[in-house]
């Protein structure tokens, strides 16, 4: 049964008319922006519903009729991202089965697939700190080669590291017992997720200087974030570029979609379970 799974997904679908794309399209929030005639959030919710690793789903945002049956609990979004995170995490921790892990997902990654979710969660839960303890926060990063191969027409922001060039994903897996300490840092990190220099400033001048000259490495960043959190944090290099392929601009909408972009399956097909 899905309810027996200890992982709860939290879909962040707030922003309202503060979001530029939502304002341009004339909908309540970015999650309601139609892509191929289907709201962005519906693709994400359907992929999570089909993922084997997800037990229950909490939707944080305004309701939408087409989303019915694709989430278990809905709570309204907060004024700020950190408020929505807190509301969603609180609702997730109140779910039956004593949830041990929360998967935070934004509602604007319509190419997200159930298989990619399962691969990320499996890889993330297998990661351990140097002392052998499990990581308490895991964030996916996608190599530039993978992102360009799978989404050749999407412009992304890449951070040049000693290990290569990477873009950040739109998922975070975190241990339920670490939520209170992690919320403030997650809010700052998400707000600056597409600004490598802002992320570097968040973790210190030394990291910033190394990033500027391309000498910062993934392990160095992991250690610094772990120090800030007081808990093990890891980055998981994912080959599934769909975890980072969000919809931010009008050019990503029907009529302007490049034919090279991956085909979007109908949510009813994504959510069908065997």
For residue 125, pLDDT beyond 80: yes
pLDDT bucket at 256, cuts 50 / 70 / 90: very low
CB 133 within 8 A of CB 97: no
**pLDDT for res 115:** 96
Domain ranges of the chain: 2-254
Instruction: Give the C-alpha separation, 10 to 41, whole Å.
Output: 12
List, for residues 148-179, the tens digit of each pLDDT value.
Answer: 999 887 777 888 888 888 888 999 999 888 88
- For the chain, what is the mean pLDDT? 80
Return the top range by mean pLDDT from 101-115, 182-196, 255-269. 101-115
Domain range 2-254, CATH class: alpha beta
For residue 270, pLDDT beyond 50: no
pLDDT bucket at 242, cuts 50 / 70 / 90: very high
Query: In this predicted model, which residue has the larger pLDDT, 181 or 41?
Result: 41
List, for residues 5-24, the tens digit of each pLDDT value.
Answer: 679 999 999 776 678 888 88
**pLDDT for res 272:** 44
Contacts of 113 by beta carbon, 8 Å cutoff, 6+ apart: 47, 240, 242, 270
Which H or E element spans position 140?
A: strand 137-143
CB 189 within 8 A of CB 202: yes
> Span 201-228, mean pLDDT?
64
Concatenated DSSP letters of 181-236: HHHHHHHHHHHTTT-HHHHHHHH-HHHHHHHHTT---HHHHHHHHHHHHTS-EEEE
For residue 89, pLDDT beyond 60: yes
List, for residues 97-113, the tens digit of each pLDDT value.
Answer: 878 899 999 999 999 99
């Amino acid at each position: 049964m899905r309810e027996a799974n200890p992982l709860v997904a939290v879909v962040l679908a707030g922003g309202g008319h503060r979001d530029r794309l939502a304002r341009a399209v004339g909908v309540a929030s970015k999650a309601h922006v139609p892509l191929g005639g289907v709201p962005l959030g519906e693709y994400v919710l359907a992929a999570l519903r089909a993922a084997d690793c997800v037990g229950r789903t909490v939707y944080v945002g305004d309701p939408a009729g087409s989303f019915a049956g694709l989430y278990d609990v809905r709570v309204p979004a907060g004024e700020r991202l950190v408020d929505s995170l807190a509301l969603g995490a609180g609702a997730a921790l109140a779910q039956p089965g004593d949830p041990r892990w929360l998967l935070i997902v934004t509602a604007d990654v319509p190419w997200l697939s159930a298989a990619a979710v399962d691969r990320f969660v499996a890889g993330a839960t297998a990661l351990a700190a140097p002392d052998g303890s499990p990581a308490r926060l895991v964030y996916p990063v996608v190599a530039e080669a993978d992102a360009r191969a799978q989404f050749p027409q999407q412009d992304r922001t890449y951070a040049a590291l000693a290990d290569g060039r990477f873009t950040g994903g739109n998922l975070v897996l975190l241990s339920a017992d670490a939520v209170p300490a992690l919320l403030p840092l997650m809010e700052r990190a998400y707000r600056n997720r597409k600004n490598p220099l802002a992320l570097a400033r968040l973790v210190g001048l030394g990291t910033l200087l190394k990033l500027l000259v391309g000498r910062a490495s993934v392990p160095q960043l992991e250690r610094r974030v772990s120090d800030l959190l007081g808990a093990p944090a890891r980055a998981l290099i994912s080959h599934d570029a769909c975890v980072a392929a969000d919809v931010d601009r009008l050019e990503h909408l029907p009529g302007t979609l490049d034919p090279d972009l991956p085909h979007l399956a109908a949510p009813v097909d994504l959510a069908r379970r065997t």
